[in-house]
Chain A
């Protein structure tokens, strides 16, 4: 009989004969005529002492290419079973399963063993056992599969002697090997949790050897004890954090949403011990609904590698501090500037008339900023729950939001030019505080946040990534802190008379200054229209411009007064709404990269270039990200930098995140960035990339280029 009956059949016999032959063959083997597994019962001891606990085991010698099954067989199959008949008073414990391996068959994945496996059972001899020979009988059943599956069984027996304990060398060797491969309880300092994260299950493990990071842990795999908990065939993606790691699993029908039951299993991984990779298996019972690692802290590690400012690992208080600092730094980012100037104007206007009102306006501005951040945080939490890639700046990937911002900028510009006054129809409360200015202050705060969103200050990335992986309440606190940081300078100015006194005196220049500020607004509108064009193409741009035209018309008609003017104004507004809806309904179009010497990024391309021994620079960018454009036109266009790229033979790749892209989103998450820009420099010698800070300087980039090539020469 051939060892590969299926092949023999496929090529030699006609299909019908083959099917019948196989069925017959399977039946024959079912009767143990020619088993695929050679089973035996082995013992650690030849002679056992009364009161002693030792192991016996079912040993399976499996035909090459075939496998038997673990306690959870995976998508198909059946676990091996062993039932023992012991002498009076003897007791057997539970079968011990060595850590299994995975076997993929088309779309299915099985958990089991190939070649050989030993399944030990602890057995306790009673104190009362009388010296002399005893026999242990066992009935074993198992399924063995290759392409086809054959259930087999065996009736086995083992004779031992009760007396002084003597080892059975061959049996002990097999059993020791099995026990070494068997999972052990995780160390005391290891904690584990299982949560739902969108359409995934997230198993997090912290502490002990799991805190060793990417350089100390690899090939992590979770084998659940139960069959329906996960999709066995789905990839298990590991995300590393300073305190541990998380595995992203595809949920099966048993996985609750939220997870509310303990689902134990075996976690296997290779750990770097004394310079060698050692496979270990731990039994874990992850706490339902608990996330035990701070995934965001991964960002802290990255920052720690690239800059001296961020320590590895971020606690809540550090995250709050970073969020505050990040918010403060946001004030200096290029995209917030026009808003700040606008706010400065308000403060100057109010300073003389009433310092109390200036304070009030400062606070209202702050409230506007903070409540918008909290609202964004809440939206992020909701989006995360809905399985959206929760990435900062993503609101600018929605054409409707971009179109709305264009309109807003255009309106503000017109307002600055004096085309219309806002809020004259709002109810006047009286007193010195003008309600429309309050509303204006609040709206300015709201606006400041929206425009600042795509600009990621270095400190903010860590805090944000931290917030993303946190329970909603903590995420909201972090967001509120970002808002406080952003609002702080202006609230301070509005409160401190000293700072206030340094502001220029009001005068007729202010009207002109206000008018001048209209042009940055129009400039921002142009930039946003450019973003919109990249997203929706020329049609979207035309609808947007129609909306602006209608806006201008509506304002003019309304100002002209009279019933005809009012009706025309309302029609104009309707046209604006229609045009905006048309814009928003357009599908985001193809991505556009403006610089030709950058290739389109893909993880595969990076791997390929690295295998060719080339250093790789990756620019994660988006049209709506101002910081990205600043870097692109500044540092990355700098002649010294370009020459250094050429000299180093640096491959330049660009990942364009203007439209949502799951692969890019995953890469950002992997490298601990909550959004773009992100710059990665992969060394020539292969290995992990260096992450550069979001605001590039010539010096940073040149140093990174040197590092990436120096590593290469060291290795060669």
Chain B
């Protein structure tokens, strides 16, 4: 422990390393937490597979009214379609535990997306909440953007309207779109972190 500390100190990164040791938090500007998962279509993926591409993580729960607002209003589907045409990998993650709201089988997840006209690149089932906890995903929806270098660039709410009312979609400032535009233009993302709103992620326990 102490020796490791000294070594880190020598490397001149003690502060960051200590912060990293104390919390495995996802930190904007730092490498995004790595994960491996099998998708609803049975494919094995890892975050590292997408290095060189921008990746969007979307935490979802189809029973959550806030999620419903974004799907019923076609907002989420539009974002997904735009992302796909821009070569961005969209990963939908469902961290609802068995028996809790939003928990679905792989077939159900795919069927739901088909019925909603949603087209994420991958659907990941995370019933243990492992990926959710690594990213400290708190709500559905909760959005993350990871750049081509694997750095977490945005974490937080989908937009600035913390409401489940469909009328709140009008005139909403979409943080994800704004962040993607800023990345495209090579400008700093502002804000790059927001307080996510929505239903709590239905973790086990």
Residues of A at the B interface (CB closer than 8 Å) are: 6, 9-10, 15-16, 19, 22-23, 26-27, 30, 73, 75-78, 105-108, 110, 141, 143, 145, 147-151, 198-199, 226-228, 250, 253-254, 385-388, 397-400, 584-588, 659-660
Contacts and interface: CB of A to CB of B under 8 A. Distances in A.
Contacts of B28: 253
Contact of B197 (A9, A78, A148): A78
B104 A16 contact: yes
A228 B193 contact: yes
A356 B57 CA distance: 76
Contacts of A147: 100-101, 202
B6 A110 contact: no
A22 B101 contact: yes
A78 B162 contact: yes
A19 B19 CA distance: 40
A251 to B, nearest CB: 9
B14 interface: yes
Interface in B26-71: 28, 62-66, 68
Contact of A75 (B19, B100, B139, B205): B139
Contact of B196 (A22, A76, A397, A585): A76
18 contacts: A19-B108, A26-B63, A26-B65, A75-B138, A75-B139, A77-B200, A105-B200, A106-B202, A106-B204, A147-B202, A148-B63, A149-B66, A199-B18, A228-B195, A253-B155, A385-B15, A387-B18, A399-B3
A19 B15 contact: no
A77 B164 CA distance: 10
Contacts of B108: 15-16, 19
Interface of B: 1-6, 9, 14-15, 18-19, 22-23, 28, 62-66, 68, 98-105, 108, 129, 133, 136, 138-139, 155, 162-165, 193-205
Contacts of B23: 199, 250
Nearest to A23: B63
Contacts of B15: 385-387
A660 B3 CA distance: 11
Nearest to B108: A16
Given A78-B197, A147-B202, A386-B14, A659 B105 contact: no
A145 B198 CA distance: 11
A149 B104 contact: no
A19 B62 contact: yes
Nearest to B98: A15
Nearest to B95: A106
Given A19-B102, A660-B2, A387 B19 contact: yes
A477 B164 CA distance: 57
A326 to B, nearest CB: 26
Given A6-B100, A15-B103, A199-B19, A145 B200 contact: yes
Contact of A398 (B6, B63, B163, B193): B6
A253 B193 contact: yes
Contacts of A106: 129, 200-205
Contacts of B194: 228
B3 A659 contact: no
A588 B5 CA distance: 12
Contacts of A6: 99-101
Nearest to A200: B22
Given A19-B108, A106-B129, A385-B15, 11 more contacts: A10-B99, A19-B103, A27-B68, A78-B163, A105-B200, A147-B202, A226-B195, A250-B23, A253-B28, A387-B22, A587-B1
Contact of B199 (A76, A107, A400): A76
A587 B5 CA distance: 11
Nearest to B203: A106
B102 A660 contact: no
B62 to A, nearest CB: 6
A15 B201 contact: no
A312 to B, nearest CB: 33
A584 B18 contact: no
B200 A149 contact: yes
A388 B5 contact: yes
Contacts of B18: 198-199, 386-388
Contact of A16 (B2, B3, B105, B138): B105
Contacts of A660: 1-2
Across chains A and B, which 9 residue pairs bring their CB atoms closest together, nearest first?
Answer: A227-B195, A106-B203, A151-B164, A76-B200, A149-B199, A75-B138, A76-B139, A148-B101, A253-B193
A76 B104 CA distance: 21
Contacts of B9: 386
Nearest to B155: A253
A75 B5 contact: no
Contact of A586 (B3, B100, B103, B196): B3
Contacts of B99: 6, 9-10, 15
Contacts of B64: 26, 148-149
B203 A105 contact: yes
Contacts of B203: 105-108
A106 B163 CA distance: 23
Contacts of B202: 106, 147-148
A306 to B, nearest CB: 31
A71 to B, nearest CB: 12
Given A15-B105, A22-B63, A386-B18, A587 B138 contact: no
Contacts of A586: 3
Contacts of A15: 98-99, 103-105, 108
Contacts of A399: 2-3
B201 A76 contact: yes
The interface centre, meaning the residue of B3, B165, B196, B198 with most chain A CB atoms within 10 A of its CB, is B3
Contacts of A110: 200
A227 B160 CA distance: 13
A345 B18 CA distance: 46
Nearest to B194: A228
